[in-house]
Structure 1
């Protein structure tokens, strides 16, 4: 359903409606007054009625609009394929049933903020490889709210949505996808800065008492932020000393884990068992293990800014994200000599490959297994 509003910069009334699956916004010459709004609202009602009846003529209402010519070509059958925005909206609606709400939100934002402004009014079958590469290059010049450039990972996510749309359109309208041969940008290796065991003890001895159990569980289970913030008591089995990771808190909503490896069972060690038992005395009557006083899930941004970073500053420890607690669990397990396959299962990795690639270089610093054992073997036999 369309709407009428005024632009802040011009204070002129704008008509906002959908035609042929495409969002259309046309600015009028009328200033924003009560009488003018009423007049334009009646015009919008007439437009939507004609769209419903199939008799709407875009050029008759908006003869100077660049969209008028594009819609006229489509109406005359001159367009081989639909406009990108129209097809992408159709594709989006069809894919919704497969996606979690958080993913739906990310794709919607990608379409509205990045893809539609660049490709929205082009025929989907006429987009070229050159224009795709030009678009990707332009994304590298975009800055975020913190004035930092878009990361390679973020650019790849934007381009992935574009690729899916173009590949699907190519399949439906029988043309070769222009995305063929375009590779993703190389993503720099993520920063892994685990805490030492002494630093873990220092943190747990000085953290606010109401968050000691929270960080104990984080350090010794390797749970992701969304997993521990979304942890509910029905997933904690004290008899078997296990935690079932089956939900995650994503953008303020509880969602099922995104894949089979994320759904896993974590074995409790003694410190984790004790921390959860203590926490049960505090929040055991509610749904969430760690929550606010009103029983709602924690806001990880608030916890990070008000508890985590101030604590690191107080202890004069280098600033590291809370996600480093997960990396710490992995390195401590490896350093203690635990079976790598067991560690991978605890972390939610499908194989041990990532485990060794990401964490193995930290193990010698913790265990002194830096080749000295082999040196001793040689000394004893040669």
Structure 2
């Protein structure tokens, strides 16, 4: 929104154009008539700025800022000529430029994920199009098509996965628009709303039955999974030099992702996990089985790390089927650990540290409904607190 001010009794026009703050002094004395005249001019200027037709030099040819606006206009024209030429880059061509520039910022697993999205989704849909001609409708049509894609299990893509696929497209379009001075089509396109994290933990009784039915050489593996809350990549990438049975601790600072050792998922994921006696015993049993094979705590007979997809299909799913349990993915072992700790009354701050969360926010947002003591709404806990004058826990 523009403004009219006064300097040395002369009217000054103030506005923003092309990202620049402009304060242009006129030769008009501050009188009601002149002010009214400048108000009309300011409205015209603001309208032209909004319509992207504003020519600064037409109004202020002698201004010190004129050269800057000429430079901006020339750059825009050069970019426009380039993108309208037959040599303008296609989405496929620009994706190579963009990927090579951004790859240095990413972890290996993320690079592979982006490469997969580009090759499987974005390039097939947009690869031959000039990146400057993509319209908002093209983006929305592409997203709608993703919602109909079926996975190998005949399920449609989740909203979270669709958002993940759309992210590289958004980043490329915005980068190209910024670099080559055209208007990005990614305006007012919001990410799809992602449902609350699906949490379907096992009860303690179910955990015991699962461990009991596990193959003998996998009992330690699932004991550790259920009673440490390790992510799949963390447990599959766990090395013996990160295990201290005397101190009853394991140190997490790395993860196995698609067969490649990487840094932990986030800075908060770097943590020391305190082990229960049961987990220590399980690791002692595991030590006899694999310590001599190499660095991995849990591995195949040749010392190579597990492939989590194979373990899930060959070990995990048959375990659930034998017990006639509804299918739940292996990540539910981590959710189970959190809910069991909360139900046992452990400190939320300590649980968050064990899980690798920087705050307790996720605990209460995701897991609280599974813990009666945290979701009680009848006031009984507060009544007992008052009756005992705070001497006992509710």
Q: Shorter-normalised TM-score: what interval? A: 0.7 to 0.9
Which residues of 2 match residues 121-160 of structure 1 at below 5 A? 121-160=128-167
2:186 pairs with 1:179: yes
277, 293, 305: which one aligns with 1:297: 305
2:250 pairs with 1:243: yes
Greater Cα radius of gyration, structure 1 or 2: 2
Match for residue 164 of structure 1? 171
Structure 1 gap segments, 5+ residues each: 1-73
Which residues of 2 match residues 193-272 of structure 1 at below 5 A? 193-272=200-279
2:295 pairs with 1:287: yes
Residue 369 to residue 309, structure 1, CA distance change in 2 (3 Å): farther
Residue 380 to residue 344, structure 1, CA distance change in 2 (3 Å): closer
1:24-46 deviation digits (Å, cap 9, x = unpaired) = xxxxxxxxxxxxxxxxxxxxxxx
Residue 204 to residue 258, structure 1, CA distance change in 2 (3 Å): closer
Match for residue 338 of structure 1? 346
Residue 77 to residue 203, structure 1, CA distance change in 2 (3 Å): closer
Residue 200 to residue 142, structure 1, CA distance change in 2 (3 Å): closer
Match for residue 127 of structure 2? 120
Residue 221 to residue 354, structure 1, CA distance change in 2 (3 Å): same
Contact 2:225–2:235 (CA<8 Å) still a contact in 1?
yes
323, 330, 341: which one aligns with 2:331: 323
Residue 189 to residue 76, structure 1, CA distance change in 2 (3 Å): closer
1:308-332 deviation digits (Å, cap 9, x = unpaired) = 2222222233322211110110011
2:354 pairs with 1:354: no
Contact 2:368–2:375 (CA<8 Å) still a contact in 1?
no
Match for residue 74 of structure 2? none
- Give me the whole-angstrom Cα distance separating, in 2, the residues matched to 1:369 and 1:236: 42
Contact 2:83–2:132 (CA<8 Å) still a contact in 1?
no
Structure 2 gap segments, 5+ residues each: 1-80, 390-394
> What TM-score results when the alignment is normalised by the length of structure 1?
0.75
- Give me the whole-angstrom Cα distance separating, in 2, the residues matched to 1:261 and 1:379: 40
Contact 2:225–2:333 (CA<8 Å) still a contact in 1?
yes
- Give me the whole-angstrom Cα distance separating, in 1, the residues matched to 2:233 and 2:378: 35
83, 91, 95: which one aligns with 1:84: 91
Match for residue 96 of structure 1? 103
State the 1:229 CA deviation: 0.8
